[in-house]
């Protein structure tokens, strides 16, 4: 199977390295395409080349995914796949511009350097080409989470937009702490801050632009701050917020948490 990867970034390279296929890269930066091709034993082609492939994989930033699908869908003979990380718009674009092809939206729920992991998938008009690509990804150790575009995008409002907003807000609000003063909760959150801020700002900006959620985090923080200011007059207000927050953190069996934090966090 021959595959065109549109986008020579980390996600495109991860996909190329996971497939048992003859891979070609096309990118707005020809040097990046050449370097990616060299890294995986493939080849580079011009972004405007009219060569056709069994499958086209669109691995570009969220904001340009639909445009890229419209441009490169005619180059696919059998299947088109997107890796944008947002699903509703790209799925609609693939249905519009490649209605007769096998189509799939894949979202690896991990950074490429942390592969393998879980991959959210929406497959439409699936057939042997998508099945072969999926089998290659499973052979590489990945597991699939079946979903719909709407379900995926709603989940990403919490899984990505709200989480990232909360971690970045903590990083902006935090002050230096002397060595040895960290608690388990602080240490975990500080590790997340370091992980998030060691990434690419454009990726996190695209997520905030694509998914709602940051305003909800800001509003929730304001509720906590307001309750803290009124503790002397209404001590139950903070407790109500505490219980409300805990009610969203049920375990896989639907059980409520016991409310006991780790040592040093009470």
| Span 92-106, pLDDT tens digits | 999 999 999 999 999
pLDDT at res. 199: 85
263, burial (CB in 10 Å: exposed 0-12, middle 13-18, buried 19+): exposed
pLDDT at res. 251: 44
Cα distance between residue 69 and residue 63, in whole Å: 12
Q: How confident is the model at residue 261 (pLDDT cuts 50, 70, 90)?
A: very low
Residues 5, 26: contact at Cβ < 8 Å? yes
Instruction: Tally Cβ neighbours within 10 Å of residue 140.
Output: 14
Over residues 208-229, mean pLDDT = 95
User: Which residues touch 222 (CB under 8 Å, ≥6 apart)?
Assistant: none
More confident residue, 264 or 139: 139
Over residues 1-28, mean pLDDT = 97
Whether the predicted pLDDT of 256 surpasses 90: no
Give the distance between the most distant pair of CA atoms in the chain.
72
pLDDT at res. 249: 55
Residue 55's DSSP bridge partners are: 3, 79
- Peptide linkage before 113 cis (omega within 30 of 0): no
């Amino acid at each position: 199977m021959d595959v065109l990867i549109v986008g020579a970034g980390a996600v495109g390279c991860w996909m190329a390295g996971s497939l048992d296929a003859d891979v070609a890269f096309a990118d707005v930066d020809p040097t990046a395409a050449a370097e990616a091709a060299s890294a995986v034993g493939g080849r580079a082609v011009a972004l405007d080349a009219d060569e056709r492939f069994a499958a086209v994989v669109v691995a570009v930033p969220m904001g340009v995914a639909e445009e890229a699908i419209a441009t490169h869908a005619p180059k696919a003979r059998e299947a088109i796949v997107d890796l944008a990380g947002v699903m509703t718009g790209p799925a609609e674009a693939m249905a519009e511009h490649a209605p007769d092809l096998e189509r799939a939206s894949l979202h690896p729920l991990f950074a490429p350097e942390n592969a393998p992991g879980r991959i959210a998938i929406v497959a439409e008009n699936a057939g042997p080409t998508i099945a072969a690509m999926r089998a290659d990804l499973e052979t590489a150790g990945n597991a699939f989470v079946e979903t719909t575009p709407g379900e995926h995008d709603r989940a990403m409002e919490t899984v990505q937009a709200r989480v990232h907003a909360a971690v970045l807000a903590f990083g902006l609000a935090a002050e230096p702490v002397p060595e040895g003063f960290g608690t388990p909760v602080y240490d975990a959150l500080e590790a997340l801050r370091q992980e998030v801020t060691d990434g690419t700002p454009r990726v996190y900006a695209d997520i905030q632009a694509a998914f709602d959620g940051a305003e909800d985090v800001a509003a929730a923080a304001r509720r906590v701050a307001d309750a803290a200011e009124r503790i002397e007059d209404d001590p139950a207000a903070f407790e109500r917020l505490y219980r409300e927050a805990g009610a969203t953190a049920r375990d896989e069996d639907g059980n409520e948490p016991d409310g006991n934090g780790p040592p040093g966090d009470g």
